[in-house]
Structure formats: C-alpha cells, structure tokens
C-alpha cells in the first residue's frame, strides 16, 4: 500500500509522562534470553531493544520482568529484584534513550502458571489452590498445584510490585506496565476460574478485582499514575477460549476499578483486534464506550487496521508484536511501503534480532 495513506500512526503524541515520537508501541513479548540462574539480561537484549527504538517505535514495553524469584514461570525470564538485574537493565534503557526512544518495564508475577523447580523450589502462589491446565512453556512439566495465598502473602506480593516499579525507575525505565492479563497472578485473582476465595479478595467480579486495585494503588504511589500502564484481558494462556459471561458488564466493572484507583492509561489485550465480543463491538470499542483515558490497542494489528482504529478514536496507541520480531525496522518498512517480512516461529522465537 502507499505509505502516504498511513499518517495517524506516525504522529507524535504525549501520553502521561511520555512524549512519544509515533503512536506506536512494541507489545510485550516473552523472550527468555536472560541468564537462567540470575535473571540478568546481556548485550544481546540491549541491542534487541535498541534496534526497535532506532526504528522510531513510540513506546517500547518490555517482555515480562518478574518481581521476585517466586514470580518466575519460565526458564530464562529476566528479573527486576536484585541490584545486578537493575544494573543490567540500565544498559538497555540507556541504549533506547540514546536512540530517542521511550521504554517501560512490564512487571510480572505468573502466580500458579509455574512449577516449584522454577519458582525457587517453592510451590507457585495463587488466590486459590487450583492447578492451571497444561504445561510450563519451555520447561515441559505440568503446572504445579499452587499454594493459596494468605493475607500476609498478598501484602508481601503487593509490596514486591511496588518495589519492582521503584527498581524500574532506578534502572532508567520511563515507567511500568503492570501485567494484569493472560491468566497470570493478577488475572488469576480477577477470574472466577482460578479465584474461589470467600474473603474480600473473592466473590463477584468487583470483589475479585480488589487485589489488582491494591497493586495499582501501590505502584501509582511509587512512580505516579502518569508512568503506570495496566494490561488486562479475558484471554488466558491455560484457557485460551475464555470469555467473560457478560463482556460489556465485565469491561464496565474493570473500567470502574481503574478510575477508582486513579489510572489514566490502559492496555486491553486480545489476540484478534477486530473480533466482536458483545453488541457487535470489539473489546477496544467496548472499552472506549466507558473509558475516555489513554487506550493502547493490540491484537495481531497491521498498519492499516491500526491507522483506522486511531483515526476513529478507538485507540490512542497501536501496539505491534510479531511484526516487530520479524522486522526490527518495521516502521521504516511501513513508511516506505516496503514488504513486511512474515513472522516465523521457528526462526524468530529462537533468535534476538
């Protein structure tokens, strides 16, 4: 297509504390290239993010970075809870900033989606002692039966999220995205599948969102609402076809929770951006019905779909995942009307290019 048709995507925009060069984001994608033992990233990761910043991506959202040893769910994922990890990430943020980019850390706790051999030889943590379906990615063993979190456990983990946000700023990140999606710990609290609690962290959806709200409050207290993004979804890694019973009511409930804690920027996640889920509307269209703050859109987007969604006002920022794995110069290719190299799992999952 003629690159002159793509214009909104290349507009500079300010969202929160971030002055972005374009209305684009690099979606968070688990890569598992950190040291397996220490969770420290190396020069290959520095170069990986630097190249996307050099391409002009507005907001880089990192792969999930775990907030504690027990938060870990895959071999080789990076951490943000030791000084050595913080120092290694400084090289990444400095490289991105030298290219004029903006980068935020996605802070992550996988909850029950783990195995004791990965999670510091302790059982995984979860709202209820219900095993996730399936096997640990890149590890091959079935998910362990998790340990139901006590009130003290909950307080401790909320503190770990806040500390990880503080550590992110020390590492030079411009802010954080709280990973509240895809069947990981926060989403396990949010979901009726994995949360059977009868205390204030359970019950109906509004009650189940209590843990998420408390995490967000503490992260906002630590780094500010203008540096905090939240990712949420219906989609779950262990239950890919899951959908809320009443999607519009669920989205309303989520939006009320975000407003209550002072969020200003949200990242609804889906695999299919154009898929309708209720009342002939997509998840992002339903979100926009109730939310006038910043919305990051994601879900197998291409430049044309993203351009249209921005022009219509459905989203403010378009996040791209797999196209950016296959094309470090993705925006350059879009702007020049050049062919986009297709994503190939065999190649692009195994290499940092």
Q: Give the CA-trace dihedral at 282, 262, 193, 205, to 10 degrees.
A: -90
| Catalytic entry in 81, 161, 184, 201 | 184
Annotation marks residue 201 as catalytic = no
Q: Tell me which residue of 198, 227, 205, 228 sits closest to 215, measured CA to CA.
A: 228
Dihedral (Cα; 98, 325, 264, 316), 10-degree rounding? 100
Q: For the chain, what is the radius of gyration of the CA atoms?
A: 19
- Answer whether 188's CB lies under 8 Å from 242's CB: no
Residue 339, Cβ density class (10 Å: 0-12 exposed, 13-18 middle, ≥19 buried) = exposed
Residues 108/68, Cβ–Cβ less than 8 Å: no
Under DSSP, the state recorded for 344 is -
- The CA–CA distances, whole Å, from 73 to 89, 159, 192, 208, 238 equal 20, 19, 21, 22, 13
Alpha helices in the chain (DSSP H): 43-54, 83-98, 151-170, 185-190, 205-208, 210-223, 247-261, 283-290, 303-312, 322-326, 330-336, 345-348
**Residues with active-site annotation:** 184
């Amino acid at each position: 297509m003629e690159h002159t048709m793509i214009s909104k995507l290349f507009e500079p925009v300010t969202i929160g504390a971030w002055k972005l060069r374009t209305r684009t984001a690099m979606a968070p994608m688990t890569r598992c290239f950190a040291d397996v033992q220490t969770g420290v990233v190396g020069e290959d990761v520095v170069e990986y993010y630097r190249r996307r910043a050099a391409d002009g991506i507005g907001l880089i959202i990192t792969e999930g970075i775990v907030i504690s040893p027990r938060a870990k769910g895959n071999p080789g994922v990076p951490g943000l809870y030791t000084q050595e990890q913080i120092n290694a990430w400084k090289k990444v943020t400095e490289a991105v900033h030298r290219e004029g980019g903006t980068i935020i850390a996605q802070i992550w706790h996988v909850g029950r989606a783990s195995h004791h051999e990965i999670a510091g030889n302790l059982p995984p943590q979860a709202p209820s002692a219900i095993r996730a379906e399936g096997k640990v990615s890149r590890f091959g063993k079935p998910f362990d039966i998790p340990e139901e979190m006590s009130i003290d456990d909950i307080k401790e983990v909320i503190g770990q999220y806040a500390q990880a946000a503080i550590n992110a700023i020390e590492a030079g990140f411009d802010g954080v995205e709280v990973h509240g999606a895809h069947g990981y710990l926060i989403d396990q609290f949010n979901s009726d599948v994995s949360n059977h609690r009868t205390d204030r962290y359970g019950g109906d959806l509004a009650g189940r969102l209590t843990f998420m709200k408390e995490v967000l409050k503490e992260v906002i207290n630590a780094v500010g609402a203008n540096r905090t993004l939240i990712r949420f979804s219906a989609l779950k890694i262990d239950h890919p076809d899951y959908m809320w019973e009443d999607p519009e009511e669920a989205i309303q409930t989520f939006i009320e929770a975000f407003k209550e804690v002072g969020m200003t920027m949200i990242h609804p996640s889906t695999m299919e951006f154009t898929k309708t889920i209720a009342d002939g509307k997509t998840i992002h269209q339903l979100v926009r019905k109730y939310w006038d703050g910043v919305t990051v859109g994601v879900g197998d987007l291409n430049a044309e779909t993203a351009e249209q969604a921005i022009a219509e006002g459905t989203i403010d920022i378009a996040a791209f995942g797999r196209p950016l794995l296959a094309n470090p110069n993705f925006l350059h290719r879009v702007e020049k009307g050049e062919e986009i190299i297709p994503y190939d799992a065999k190649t692009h999952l195994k290499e940092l290019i």
